[in-house]
Structure formats: C-alpha cells, structure tokens
Amino acid sequence: MSEPIRVLVTGAAGQIAYSLLYSIGNGSVFGKDQPIILVLLDITPMMSVLNGVLMELQDCALPLLKDVIATDEEEVAFKDLDVAVLVGSMPRREGMERKDLLRANVKIFKSQGAALEKYAKKSVKVIVVGNPANTNCLTAAKSAPSIPKENFSCLTRLDHNRAKSQIALKLGVTADDVKNVIIWGNHSSTQYPDVNHAKVKLQGKEVGVYEALKNDSWLKGEFITTVQQRGAAVIKARKLSSAMSAAKAISDHIRDIWFGTPEGEFVSMGVISDGNSYGIPDDLLYSFPVVIKNKTWKFVEGLPINDFSREKMDLTAKELTEEKEAAFEFLSSA
Ligand code: NAI
C-alpha cells in the first residue's frame, strides 16, 4: 500500500458531495490501492449537517479511508493537500444580479486560492466545480501564484458526458461507444458541444458521428441546445440541480488526471489558454480538448475548425472574457 494522499472536498455538506465522497472513498477515483485522508470543508452554519456526512462516511467502513476530517476552517482544510475539489460556492438566489453573484464568488475563490498558496503542497491538483466554474477557477489560480497554473482545471466533463450520451441515445449504442466529443468554452449555456471530430463504434467499426447519423440539422441544432440547456432541464424536472451525474463527471475528470486518458482518446476540461491554441485569447480559463499523461494535460493540437464552429467558439470566449474582466475588477478591490 502506498502513502495516503490528502484530498479536500469543499461544499462537503451539499448534494454533489453526498455522491462524490462515496466514490472517492471506495477507490473509484484514485484506485483501489490508494489510501486517502479525506478532508471535508463547509461553512460554519452547515457544521451539524457536515457532521452527519462524517458519521455516514465512518459507517461506510471503507478500508481506503485512513482518516476523515470535517472542518469550517481553511487553515485546517487546505493543509498539505494533494488534491482539492472545490465544489462549494455561493448559489444564485432569486432576484440576485449576475454581477453580485460573481462578486460573492470572487471573494470565496480568492480566499481559497490564498489558502492553497499558503498551506497546500505545490504539486496540488485543483478541480473547480462551483459555478461560475471557469471564472472561479481562474480566480483561485491567480490567488495562488506559486502553484503552477496548469494544476488548475474546471469541470466541463458533465457537459462532455451529456454530449456523448445524446449521440449514443440517438444511435442506439452505449455512451462508451462514442468518443472524442468536445466541449469548448464556458460551463454555461454559451458552451459549444462539438462532434465534428467525434467517432462512434458501429458494428465493430469506428466512423465519424456526422457520417454515422446523417442528420446534420439535428447535430447543428437540437443536439447543441439540448446539451447547453441540460442543466436547466434537470433543475426543472427534479427541482434540484444535477448531483449524481455531476459527481460521476468529477470522478471521471479526476481519474483521468490521475491515471491519464486512454490512447487515441481526448476529454474536455476547462484549462488556462496560452493564446496559441485554436485562436482563443491568452489567459482565459476555457474548456478545450486535452490528453493527459503523467498527471499533465496537453492541448489536442491541429483539429480543423470550420466556420460554424469558429463562430460558436468565439461567442463563448467573448462571454468568458467579460466574466474575467468583471472578476478581476472585484479581485483587485476585494
Ligand atoms: P449545494 O447547495 O447542495 O451544496 C453547496 C455546498 O457548498 C453547501 O453545503 C454550502 O454550504 C457550501 N458552501 C458555500 N460556500 C462555501 C464556502 N465558502 N466554503 C465551503 N463550502 C461552501 O450545491 P451542489 O448541488 O452540491 O452544487 C455545488 C456547486 O456545483 C454549485 O455551484 C453548482 O452550480 C455547481 N455545479 C457545477 C457543475 C459543473 O459542471 N461545473 C455541475 C453541477 C453543479
């Protein structure tokens, strides 16, 4: 057995964490022989709920869990971390302006970024889930200047999985038979789900999704809006936002960082742009196709981009640029 790794989940009393903590604890994320010290952070008013989650984790009797620590103090939560999964954020309340929501989240992620800088290992991998996920991730990265910015990523894997599944459902195959879909941009309704480079396995043969479906109008219309609006559709139906599927996507995202992506496959994640890839401006936390090896991601290079895609990729970049500018204003005044 190797040394235990220290993994933090914030928003640990919330609904995503309720599914996620079990996956982490049972070895589905870091492997069945990786012991874990699990750290749970939530805000002070949630401590009694968090204590209930702690009791349940203890009652699961999971052999890989060497310790579980529940706290409302950043100093305790961020100490010596190998992995930080930042799920907790300020939710949008009725009547709340987008700007006010952004301001509240800049405050949270500035503070947590500074705590990462001060207390975590420099090798820590940081995954941001709490919305607005891309900009929260950028805020945290900017607030932790001594941690490599490549160690920060935000979750667009749920959108990626949704896109895979919509294609699979339409073709009557399983999600596993579909690969290399891409989510470009923001984890918001401007994201662009792109299947121009995606492949599907049909009767043992790999074919392009456009070729397999022969339904360009669906792919360029309803498919895109279904993926973009899926989060809202789940809220409408369940009266709660996606939690089981979000936890599954977080597990997929972290497992790929830890173990790498399979040969010939790429995945989508929000990472820092370098100004040289796909015409996206420098220093945006934008969702790209990436491959991962030795816990390090690389852009998938050289995919041809048609005019239809270009327009959609630029639109979501524009939204992210605006979000970034507003966040940086708050960051300097916070
Ligand atoms: P939830 O409301 O059930 O739980 C959030 C938890 O975070 C609460 O327990 C709250 O007290 C806590 N929290 C708030 N501020 C905190 C802070 N400063 N430090 C630590 N904990 C804090 O929400 P749920 O459903 O678990 O969702 C969490 C976040 O994930 C939301 O922002 C949601 O919009 C986002 N989300 C993102 C997705 C993505 O694909 N990027 C997918 C689904 C949800």
Burial class (CB in 10 A: 0-12, 13-18, 19+), 22: middle
Decide which of 93 and 219 is more confident: 219
User: What number does the ligand 1 atom closest to the CA of 131 have?
Assistant: 32
Tell me if 121 sits within 8 A of 80, measured CB to CB.
Answer: yes
Nearest to 77 by CA among 159, 2, 11, 28: 11
Determine the pLDDT at residue 93. 78
In this prediction, what percent of the chain has a pLDDT beyond 70? 100
What is the average pLDDT across 82-107? 90
Q: Which amino acid is present at 24?
A: I
Give the per-residue SS3 of the chain. CCCCEEEEEECCCCHHHHHHHHHHHCCCCCCCCCCEEEEEECCHHHHHHHHHHHHHHHHCCCCCEEEEEEECCHHHHCCCCCEEEECCCCCCCCCCCHHHHHHHHHHHHHHHHHHHHHHCCCCCEEEECCCCHHHHHHHHHHCCCCCCHHHEEECCHHHHHHHHHHHHHHHCCCHHHEECCEEEECCCCCCEEECCCCEEEECCEEEEHHHHHCCHHHHHCHHHHHHHCHHHHHHHHHCCCCCHHHHHHHHHHHHHHHHCCCCCCCEEEEEECCCCCCCCCCCCEEEEEEEEECCEEEECCCCCCCHHHHHHHHHHHHHHHHHHHHHHHHHHHC
CATH code that applies to domain 5-154: 3.40.50.720
- CATH (residue range 156-321): 3.90.110.10
Residue 334: what pLDDT?
60
Pocket mutation for ligand 1, best pick of 49, 76, 89 (most atoms within 8 Å of C-beta):
89
Task: Report percent pLDDT > 90 for the chain.
Answer: 95
Question: What pLDDT is attached to residue 171?
Answer: 97
Cα separation, 71 vs 81, in Å, equals 14
Cβ of 108 closer than 6 Å to ligand 1, yes or no, is: yes
Contact, 23 vs 251, CB < 8 A?
yes
pLDDT in tens, 12-38: 999 999 999 999 999 999 999 999 999
The pLDDT value given to residue 100: 87
- Sketch the domain layout of the chain as residue ranges: 5-154, 156-321
Instruction: Give the ligand 1 atom nearest the CA of 111.
Output: 18
| 92-101, 143-152, 210-219: least confidently modelled range | 92-101
Instruction: Return the structure tokens found at 76.
Output: 């305790």
Q: What does the mean pLDDT of the chain come to?
A: 96
Residue 8 CA to residue 72 CA, distance in Å, equals: 12
Examine the pLDDT at 1 and tell me if it is beyond 80: no
Residues marked as catalytic: 187
The distance of Cα 73 from the centroid of its chain, to the nearest Å, equals: 24
Identify which of 9, 16, 47, 154 to mutate to test ligand 1's pocket (most ligand atoms within 8 A of the CB).
16
pLDDT in tens, 257-312: 999 999 999 999 999 999 999 999 999 999 999 999 999 999 999 999 999 999 99
Taking residues 156-170, report their average pLDDT. Answer: 98
- For 200-226, how does the pLDDT look when each residue is reduced to its tens digit (9 = 90+)? 999 999 999 999 999 999 999 999 999
Partners of 36 in the β-ladder: 5, 65
Does the pLDDT at position 332 exceed 90? no
